[in-house]
Amino acid sequence: MASKTANQAREAVGSVAERAKDAASSAGQMADKATSTVGSGMESLGRTIHDKAPSGGMIGGAAHATADALQKGGRYVQQEGVGGMAEDLTECIRNYPVAAFLTAVVGGYLIAQMVRG
């Protein structure tokens, strides 16, 4: 009797673990698809700005620099995905812990001020 109950418990835990694994995999795939879509949109916006911005002057220079940054950022987001960006963020925090801490403090303060109204 105890052996049968233990086996049923193991099967139930295994089933739950398998479902959790499937859900995590699905969420990861959805996140990668979303980052690919965002990256593609950034690149497209950069191309549109290049096409429509004036070719000279201060405004034209700023617009083309912005378009270049959008296209570069879009390629980065598409190539790296969520996992690559998380690794880069982790590396940045390890290399610059004080700046990361101060950024988190200021960000938390600003979010708290927005929530308070």
Give pLDDT, residue 29.
80
Above pLDDT 90, what percent of the chain?
63
Asked whether 27 and 63 are in contact (CB, 8 A), the reply is: no
CA-CA distance, 111 to 73, in Å (whole number)? 25
Q: Half-sphere exposure of residue 40, counting CA atoms within 13 Å on the CB side?
A: 6
Average of per-residue pLDDT across 100-111: 96
pLDDT tens-digit series, residues 62-91:
999 999 999 999 999 999 988 899 999 999
From the CB of residue 31, how many other CB atoms can be counted at a distance below 10 Å? Answer: 13
The per-residue pLDDT for 16 is 64
In eight-state DSSP terms, residue 55 is: S
Q: What confidence score (pLDDT) does residue 6 get?
A: 63
Prediction pTM value: 0.64
Name the band, by pLDDT with cuts 50, 70 and 90, for residue 98.
very high
Q: Mind listing the pLDDT tens digit for each residue in 11-35?
A: 766 676 677 666 666 777 888 888 8
